[in-house]
Amino acid sequence: MFSKILIANRGEIACRIAKTAKRLGISVVAVYSEADAGSRHVSMADEAYCIGPPPAKDSYLRGDAIIEVAKKSGAQAIHPGYGFLSENDAFAEACAKAGLVFIGPPPSAIRAMGLKSAAKALMEKAGVPLVPGYHGDKQDPAFLRTEADKIGYPVLIKASAGGGGKGMRVVEKGGDFVEALASCQREAKASFGDDQVLIEKYLTRPRHIEIQVFADTRGQCVYLFERDCSVQRRHQKVLEEAPAPGMQPDRRKAMGAAAVAAAQAVGYVGAGTVEFIANQDGSFYFMEMNTRLQVEHPVTEMITGLDLVHWQLQVAAGLPLPLTQDQVKINGHSIEARVYAENPAKNFLPSTGLLKHVRTPEAVEFEGAMVQPPASVRVDSGVRPGDTISPYYDPMIAKLIVWGEDRGVALARLARALGEFEVVGVSTNIAFLGRVVKSRAFSSGDLDTGLIERNRDELFAPASGPRDDVLALAAFAEFTLSGWTATQRGKTTDEPNSPWHLVDGWRLNEQPHHTIVFVEDDQSTAVTLVRAASGMRMRTGSADYALSGKMSPDGALRIELDGRSVGGRAVRVGSEWSIFLGGEQHRLALKDDLHELESDAHGGTLAAPMPGKIIAVLVAKGARVEKGTPLVILEAMKMEHTITAPRAGTVASIRFAPGEQVDEGVDLLTLED
């Protein structure tokens, strides 16, 4: 076994690998960009080295710099994690030339599976079933359009060198093909340095089921069962679970055998995932092979009791697989939810900013050793309160993984854990995940890759303004905080009994009261708290409630609203309260003149939603546009985002050209009515 390894990655996966390595007594070397100098994965390492500026191409994709650090530090092996250089055959070869062990498959296997078109041809020879499509090298747009017409719409355009949903477009009709192809190729070029694509028949209600395989250097290969990853947004996974709901033993065995055949066809070594697209009738087709550890590997660990990173280290050190196929068993059910900094209501637009408050559900900290039965709740994260979600990397905050004796228990635990997960500072998908988990389709196991789009009305709650129970929690929290603040202020002055330190709401010839105006979803609501002999009352609109309660210093609240008990948590940052209630987060700003000025200044319409690079300007100065017309394509966090016209008008000015970097909030162009 190795005595020192370098982890060529960042964030959650770097922390995950470090935990297993340290449990085994292996020293850990971290690398980091200038943006990650204070990150969690750096603090967990025994040694850490800066390898460049924040952009990944100048740091985490610098294979030469990483190898130089490995040699300087005395590391014997490099673990690439996932993403970045994990599926780069040239990097794996460079490691070997430098005398370093690449903890992953041989370069030839990465190369064979790296180009999807070549991989499909190889799988066809190995007898693995394939989806109808074109996987050749000819890339002329007119030719590809003809091939798509032959296959029949809808078709899926995919980056041949891609993964993670990048460079992927669904085309419903022939007239949209050329535009979708150009967008797909741009994104593929930016993400993978290769704009070659393949085209496949798009199955209308498919499930995404993948098989975890493991092979050693002695020719042994096993499959560690399946994961269902059907719930996706923008072709990226949102929820994953193991085993797949409704999976029959004979189908599991057939898919496992096909996955092993795929791995053996390329001489695979280490951890890999063979992804299949499956019809509702049970038929399945090879989609691709990810030649690395997957983001969702914890659900496999939870149901098998195995530490997959430990297995990776053993295999890379030349040791045999610890278990045979017959010795691997399924125990219970596990589901993983990916907690992202993003806004589901705005097409899952990534959110950047400071994590001002993070409170995770009560969980067992994973330390790199799997046991049976596993912990019921596990949180894998690479960030802490005070860290920043930057525009340079994937906006994942954490992975929330639960285990239960069966799927019903796991679902209940996940719903509860999501309701206890709190983040302030960035938009998140936590409440959205909670709605998906509780939805009829997901809870009943009626899964396919279109689940989110098919259930939009249920999953995307329309903005309706704050409810009275939310207003009551916020008002009580604001009143309580004002009292605490006044008391502390009084203690620090020479006149602690001064009436200016009181917050009793005294008014001449009126009942003592406080009026607070909250703003949520651009809707203002006034709340008046009245102090009377009978106790406090809350008035909002025509409603009048008796209000009482208690608030602890950590923000936990329990109020009585007309005799109804309501419990939640309130966190104030600046002039905004975050109220956590029933698994939802409500952001209520205290209205003031500054808030009005900011709202008027930004408008939120033609400004860059986040830092990024201008990929294309789709209109010219003087052009007349209608509401919804695409104006600018912005690339941020390795994804393309289209800025559309918020209203009809004429383009008065264009402030940036393709290739230019822009900051969040800057106006990209102006419209005149």
Give the residue from 130, 230, 144 showing the smallest Cα distance to 180.
144
Kindly report the number of other CB atoms within 10 A of residue 411's CB atom.
20
Residues 64 and 15 in one domain: yes
User: What CATH number did the domain enclosing 431 receive?
Assistant: 3.30.470.20
What distance separates the 2 farthest-apart alpha carbons in the chain? 90
Residue type at position 204: T
In a domain, 322, yes or no: yes
Residues 365 and 402 in one domain: yes
Residue type at position 478: E
C-alpha angle 554/557/562, rounded to 5°?
Answer: 170
Cis check for the bond before 496: say yes or no (omega within 30 of 0).
Answer: no
Residue type at position 100: L
Cα distance between residue 370 and residue 476, in whole Å: 44
What global pTM score does this model have? 0.81
Residues 213 and 318 in one domain: yes
Give the residue from 564, 274, 608, 574 showing the smallest Cα distance to 424.
574
Residues 502 and 567 in one domain: yes
Q: What is the pLDDT of residue 464?
A: 67
Cα distance between residue 565 and residue 473, in whole Å: 11
Range of the domain at 11: 4-103
In a domain, 484, yes or no: yes
Q: What is the pLDDT of residue 604?
A: 34
Give the residue from 417, 408, 528, 411 showing the smallest Cα distance to 478.
528
Domain stops at, among 536, 566, 596: 596
Residues 586 and 621 in one domain: no
Cα distance between residue 41 and residue 27, in whole Å: 13
Q: Where does 25-117 show beta strands of DSSP type E?
A: 27-33, 47-52, 77-79, 101-102
- The residue annotated as part of the active site, out of 16, 111, 252, 292, is 292
Dihedral (Cα; 543, 548, 550, 556), 10-degree rounding: -20
Cα distance between residue 6 and residue 18, in whole Å: 9
pLDDT along the chain (673 residues), means of 10: 97 97 97 96 98 96 98 98 96 98 97 84 88 89 96 92 81 95 91 89 91 97 98 92 96 96 96 93 90 97 97 98 97 97 91 93 77 85 94 94 97 96 96 96 95 93 80 94 68 57 49 84 89 86 93 94 95 92 92 48 59 87 89 76 86 90 84 85
**Cα-to-chain-centroid distance, residue 659:** 27
Residues 382 and 502 in one domain: no
User: What CATH number did the domain enclosing 191 receive?
Assistant: 3.30.1490.20
Residues 81 and 138 in one domain: no
Length of the chain: 673
Cα distance between residue 500 and residue 478, in whole Å: 18
User: What CATH number did the domain enclosing 611 receive?
Assistant: 2.40.50.100
Q: Is residue 489 left, alpha or beta, with left meaning phi > 0 and alpha meaning psi from -120 to 50?
A: alpha
Cα distance between residue 197 and residue 322, in whole Å: 39
Q: What is the pLDDT of residue 204?
A: 81
Q: How many domains does the chain have?
A: 5
Residues β-bridged to residue 339: 398
Q: Answer yes or no: 292 catalytic.
A: yes
Asked whether the CA dihedral 144, 145, 151, 155 is positive or negative, the reply is: positive
Residues 27 and 90 in one domain: yes
Cα–Cα distances (Å) from 423 to 296, 347, 397, 459, in that order, read 22, 20, 9, 20
Residues 389 and 441 in one domain: yes
User: What CATH number did the domain enclosing 60 receive?
Assistant: 3.40.50.20
In a domain, 312, yes or no: yes
Give the residue from 453, 438, 307 showing the smallest Cα distance to 367.
307
In a domain, 306, yes or no: yes
In SS3 terms, 60-74 reads as: CCCHHHHHHHHHHHC
Could you tell me if 376 and 309 are in contact, meaning their C-beta atoms sit under 8 angstroms apart? no
**Cα-to-chain-centroid distance, residue 271:** 22
User: What CATH number did the domain enclosing 541 receive?
Assistant: 3.30.700.40
Domain stops at, among 88, 103, 118: 103
In a domain, 558, yes or no: yes
Cα distance between residue 454 and residue 448, in whole Å: 10
In a domain, 126, yes or no: no
Give the residue from 669, 526, 561, 542 showing the smallest Cα distance to 607.
669
Q: What is the pLDDT of residue 497?
A: 59
Residues 571 and 609 in one domain: no
The residue whose two tokens read 């935990």 is: 19
State the burial class of residue 46 (Cβ atoms within 10 Å of its Cβ: 0-12, 13-18, 19+).
Answer: middle
Residues 435 and 505 in one domain: no
Residues 547 and 474 in one domain: yes
In a domain, 382, yes or no: yes
Pairing status of strand 27-33 against strand 4-7 = parallel
In a domain, 148, yes or no: yes
Domain stops at, among 175, 201, 227: 201
Q: What is the pLDDT of residue 593?
A: 47
